[in-house]
A = this chain, B = another copy of it.
Amino acid sequence: MSEMLMSALKYSRQRESIKTFLTGRTDHPTAEVIYTALREDQPHISLGTVYRNLSLLTQLGEIRKISTGDGPEHYDGDMTPHHHFICRHCHRVMDLWSDDADQLVKVASRDFHGQIEGCSVNFYGLCEDCLKKFDAS
């Protein structure tokens, strides 16, 4: 998104509440989940508005989109560099803090003749809870 578009962006209560909702949680809700939750306080908010503002916030770099590769997109209000773990059983998305995010980009940039601006790292497997369930059965 260009500077022009950014500065042309007016305040909106809906966008504000989407941002606040996201930064107030550590899970990584989908557009649908956000929509359902916000509707409790703002019964007239529309799903289209949620989608549009999630895109806007992502473009502005205020939130991150997480593609799990299976099902709808998830969103994360925490912009601190970190990775994600996606459970193949319960499909939860969890934070995974490793201090190698910068290092990754640096190493990759060494033998790549383009401009790397960011990276996303997703780990796949079974989360602690699901692992226990599998062990029990």
Q: Which residues of A contact B (CB under 8 A)?
A: 65, 67-69, 73, 83, 85, 87-88, 96-98, 100, 104-105, 107-108, 111-128, 130-131
- The docked-state distance in angstroms from the alpha carbon of A104 to that of B112 is 19
Can you give 18 A-B contacts (C-beta < 8 A)? Answer: A67-B67, A85-B108, A85-B112, A85-B114, A88-B117, A98-B104, A98-B107, A112-B123, A114-B125, A115-B131, A116-B124, A117-B126, A118-B123, A118-B124, A118-B125, A119-B121, A119-B123, A120-B121
Q: Enumerate chain B residues within 8 angstroms of A126, measured Cβ to Cβ.
A: 114-115, 117
Given A100-B104, A108-B96, A116 and B85 touching (CB < 8 A)?
A: yes
